[in-house]
């Protein structure tokens, strides 16, 4: 079929369909549709991105249509492969000339179907023009017979001949509808192949325009058939018929494609997407960083496969960076271009922010971590409202209280209500998955808690700050952080930690998804949060879940008695502090002073051991005392089931702890990496697993 796409190329939007080029008449659109291998009556129109109005109804292909397309293409390919390479190149070079002559048409189509600005759409035209000219000129030389040195000089002659694959299957995405469609096809055609092409349904018109232009340039009509439809329906027959596969898309689909291609023993070329991250360091210039981030996120209308999809930055620089990033002209212009789309969908663009509980706890202790994360959510929510951007928080909750875990309904109650306005994302990690979701009844119960809690919290008043309560929390956070950092930053503490916990066993276990240390340095900042929390839990200090809270509460009681009374009387009305105090109480209940004394006995220097053990003991007793004063009832009376559960496990756990300490002492004396050392490590890892199961917590 020949399709004439010449004519007036002036861009005049159709009043009936804003954005549709006036030159794309109904008959011409139907001639484009005739290039699709489709035998049925089903037709669909993709929505234009900015207006959401339908573009052009195109027929949908079936699996049988794909097979028919391969039959046609294979017949055309036999004749095409017999043509001299120079003749095939002449077709592609004529396509190059036509492309530049008619570029306004394809620019119109890309803008209408894909939503790119004209400048970014032109980059695709330039890319394909350069590709067509380069391969059109070089193909005869690249494909000609090449003399190679024989195995036995003089006696043997060797020649290198290049044969076409046959029929190449090409699957191209929506984000570069011309570059990723025609770019792959040009090289395949020049090599003597035919192509069966499945473009994304959103941008099929651009691909069909390119096919029509190539036919006008002299390509046989059946050499580049197009099929349109869902990948789930057409992927299998396309793979079954192809002699070579070219795919651009998701990593998940690419794995399946590669597996199927391998089963058929055919080659494949896959360009797969990822999750590109931008990292902002503490010493970065914020103005330059914001400008670079805007370009990295929104270049080519944000459709570049290497565009940034997430930004990691220090908590201390979060708001200052976001101010600059959202004020940057590229960001502002991008948001303004999305205006019509937002109006149609009654929504604003969404910015996702990850909330990390693990490292903030390791750096400042549990109370400071929770308070500063809450404050940051409030500030970012206010900023997003002022900027007209929806904000969705993604809570990276770990498996332990020190890493963000805790009762789900209390966790949700402690969040700022306005922070749930755009939905909620959160993780469940480690042993909590099995504990909450391994059993159907438990899974339903926990999901109901999550849905009910999120719904309840999001429907409440958007105002949750109380100046007096915030002042109390700010002071408690400051005192708690000062006490916690005073311990972990004290000279000799890392040495105490290394000897008084099984951190070396955990680092040697090789069971995590990442190394225990970021670079291998023996520093607290280099150690990841999971082994840090895990080792304190194994030794029953559980330091990360309570240290500093006792001193903070005692200081408030001593220096500001009125605020202490207000806190004790209003604790139920202070969701965040109620949540933190309840979690601290749980952690203290799991802490066992007699067991940690056992582990501390492994510290060789008695002065070092005595100094830190006494500080930890004093803070532990102080924390228990202050929590008891707040609640006014003994722990066993308030939470009898937890107290009973801990009591039932205590004796068995203590035996396991004594066994682990004995094994650690012997293991540390064995030369590392020897068979004896490895055997002892395996025994130790059994105790680690047993204690973790008994405590129902890891890192």
Write out the catalytic residue numbers: 271, 305
Name the nearest CA neighbour of 469 among 580, 394, 587. Answer: 580
Burial 507-519 (b: 16+ CB within 10 A, else e): bbbeeeeeebeee
Angle of helix 606-631 versus helix 549-559 axis, rounded to 10: 60
Query: What tokens does 241 get?
Result: 């018929």
Q: Phi first, then psi: what are they for 20, rounded to 5°?
A: -75, 125
Tell me how far apart the terminal alpha carbons of the chain are, to the nearest angstrom.
Answer: 65
Residue 226: CA count within 13 A, CB half-sphere? 30
Residue 260 contacts by C-beta under 8 Å, 6 or more apart in sequence?
236, 239
Rounded CA-CA distance 443/438 in Å is 7
C-alpha distances in angstroms, 269 versus 47, 134, 140, 238, 598?
Answer: 30, 21, 23, 15, 59
Long-range contacts of 155-162 (CB under 8 A, 24+ apart): 162/191
Number of neighbouring beta carbons within 10 Å of residue 395: 20
Number of neighbouring beta carbons within 10 Å of residue 241: 19
Radius of gyration of the chain (CA): 33
Please check whether residue 63 is in contact with residue 233, taking contact to mean a CB–CB distance below 8 angstroms: yes
Rounded CA-CA distance 455/355 in Å is 20
Rounded CA-CA distance 545/562 in Å is 27
* Sign of the torsion angle spanned by Cα atoms 601, 603, 607, 608: negative
Longest dimension (CA), the chain: 104
Rounded CA-CA distance 558/11 in Å is 77
Please check whether residue 216 is in contact with residue 2, taking contact to mean a CB–CB distance below 8 angstroms: yes
Number of neighbouring beta carbons within 10 Å of residue 651: 8
Please check whether residue 308 is in contact with residue 296, taking contact to mean a CB–CB distance below 8 angstroms: yes
Rounded CA-CA distance 353/421 in Å is 14
């Amino acid at each position: 079929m020949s399709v004439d796409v010449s004519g007036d190329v002036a861009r005049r939007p159709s009043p009936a369909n804003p954005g549709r080029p006036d030159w794309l008449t109904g008959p011409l659109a139907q001639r484009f549709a005739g290039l699709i291998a489709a035998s049925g009556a089903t037709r669909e129109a993709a929505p234009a991105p900015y207006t959401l109005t339908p573009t052009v109804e195109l027929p949908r292909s079936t699996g049988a249509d794909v097979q028919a397309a391969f039959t046609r293409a294979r017949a055309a390919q036999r004749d095409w492969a017999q043509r001299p390479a120079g003749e095939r190149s002449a077709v592609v070079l004529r396509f190059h000339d036509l492309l530049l002559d008619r570029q306004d048409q394809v620019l119109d189509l890309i803008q209408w179907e894909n939503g790119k600005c004209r400048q970014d759409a032109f980059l695709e035209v330039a890319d394909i023009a350069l590709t067509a000219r380069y391969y059109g000129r070089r193909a005869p030389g690249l494909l000609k017979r090449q003399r190679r040195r024989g195995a036995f000089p003089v006696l043997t002659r060797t020649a290198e001949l290049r044969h076409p694959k046959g029929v190449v299957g090409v699957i191209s995405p929506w984000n570069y509808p011309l570059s990723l469609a025609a770019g792959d096809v040009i090289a395949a055609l020049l090599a003597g192949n035919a192509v069966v092409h499945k473009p994304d349904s959103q941008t099929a018109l651009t691909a069909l325009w390119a096919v029509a232009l190539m036919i006008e340039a002299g390509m046989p009509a059946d050499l580049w058939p197009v099929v349109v439809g869902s990948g789930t329906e057409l992927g299998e027959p396309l793979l079954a018929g192809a002699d070579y596969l070219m795919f651009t898309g998701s990593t998940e689909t690419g794995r399946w494609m590669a597996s199927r291609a391998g089963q058929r023993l055919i080659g494949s070329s896959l360009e797969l997407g990822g999750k590109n991250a931008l990292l902002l360091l503490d010493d970065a210039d914020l103005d330059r960083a914001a400008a670079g981030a805007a370009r990295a996120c929104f270049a080519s209308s944000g459709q570049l496969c290497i565009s940034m999809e997430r930004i990691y930055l220090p908590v201390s620089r979060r708001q200052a960076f976001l101010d600059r990033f959202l004020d940057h002209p590229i960001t502002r212009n991008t948001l303004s271009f999305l205006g019509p789309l937002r109006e149609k969908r009654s929504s604003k663009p969404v910015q996702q922010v990850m909330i990390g509980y693990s490292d903030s706890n390791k750096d400042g202790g549990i109370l400071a971590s929770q308070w500063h994360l809450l404050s940051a959510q409030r500030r970012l929510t206010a900023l997003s409202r002022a900027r007209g951007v929806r904000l969705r928080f993604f809570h990276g909750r770990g498996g332990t209280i020190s890493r963000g875990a805790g009762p789900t309904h209390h966790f949700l109650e402690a969040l700022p209500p306005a922070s749930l306005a755009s939905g909620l994302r959160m993780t469940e990690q480690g042993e909590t998955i099995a504990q909450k979701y391994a059993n159907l009844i438990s899974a339903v119960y926990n999901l109901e808690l999550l849905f009910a809690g999120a719904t309840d919290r999001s429907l409440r008043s958007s105002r949750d700050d109380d100046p007096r309560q915030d002042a109390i929390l700010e002071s408690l956070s400051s005192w708690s952080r000062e006490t916690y950092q005073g311990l972990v930053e004290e000279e000799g503490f890392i040495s105490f930690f290394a000897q008084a916990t099984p951190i070396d066993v955990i680092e040697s276990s090789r069971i995590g998804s990442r190394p225990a240390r970021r670079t291998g340095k023996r520093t607290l900042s280099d150690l990841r949060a999971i082994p840090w929390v895990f080792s304190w839990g194994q030794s029953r200090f559980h330091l990360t879940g309570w240290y500093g809270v006792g001193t903070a509460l005692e200081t408030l009681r001593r220096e500001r008695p009125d605020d202490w009374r207000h806190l004790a009387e209003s604790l139920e009305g202070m969701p965040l502090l109620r949540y933190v105090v309840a979690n601290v109480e749980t952690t203290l209940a799991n802490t066992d002073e007699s067991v940690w004394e056992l582990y501390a006995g492994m510290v060789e220097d008695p002065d070092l051991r005595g100094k830190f053990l006494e500080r930890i003991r004093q803070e532990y007793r102080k924390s228990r005392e202050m929590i008891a004063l707040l609640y006014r009832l003994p722990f066993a009376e308030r939470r009898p089931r937890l107290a009973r559960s801990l009591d039932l496990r205590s004796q068995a756990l203590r035996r396991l702890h004594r066994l682990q300490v004995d094994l650690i002492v012997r293991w540390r004396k064995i030369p590392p990496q020897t068979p004896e050392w490895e055997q002892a490590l395996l025994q130790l890892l059994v105790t680690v697993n047993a204690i973790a199961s008994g405590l129902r917590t890891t890192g």
